[in-house]
Amino acid sequence: MVGIALCFCIYGCQKFKAFIPNDNVARFGMDRDFPGLNYTGDGNFTDHGRQSGIQRFALDLGAVDLEEASLQLFALEGLPEVRFVSYLRIEHPLPTSGKHDDFNAGDVIVKISLEDRNGKVIFSEKASLKNWTWSGSVGASRSDLYTPKTMFIPESGKSYKVTLKIAESNLQMPKCRLLFMGGGWKAFD
């Protein structure tokens, strides 16, 4: 009886591999697609799991002050090799008509750039917020703003520096957060 059970354990378990849920996850919770994932930079990094269709990885660098002229720096290290988009999440609803009639901070010029540790510029964008692309859910109290220039795929083992610069103050600017989001099984690189 012990011999039959031992044979089943050794050889029979291979037959049931197709029924094991989440087979892409290695033991102890490590994802086989990203075995070295270990974010150690600024902000709060979240992995929403391999079942996430889009925006699997979210890096929240926290609140940024767009009301005052400022220069803010952030360090990124240990990001997975997936396409990330840099967003400004503002506390303002997505307009239903496509026009931003009640958004009084559209003329705020935001400069955001990303460099690797050697000073090589990965992307640099300088534009007024009215020219950024608005995204989000209609009816939600906040919107995510981005431009096509603020997308990148980090290289494994590289560290990066993000610079966010506001040249002029605008006291009508709503609260804002700087986010990097990317990955997911529906995302294409």
CATH code for position 82: 2.60.120
Mean pLDDT by 10 residues, the chain (189 residues): 55 48 44 74 88 84 83 93 91 69 72 94 90 80 87 91 84 81 74
**Which residues make Cβ contacts (< 8 Å) with residue 40, sequence separation at least 6?**
77, 78
Q: Which long-range contacts (CB under 8 A, 24 or more apart) does 23-27 make?
A: 24/50, 25/50
The number of distinct structural domains making up the chain is 1
- Note whether residue 119 is domain-resident: yes
pLDDT value at residue 28: 42
Looking at the whole model, is its pTM more than 0.85?
Answer: no
- Note whether residue 27 is domain-resident: no
- Structural domain range at position 145: 39-182
- Note whether residue 13 is domain-resident: no
Which residues are registered as beta bridge partners of 72? 164
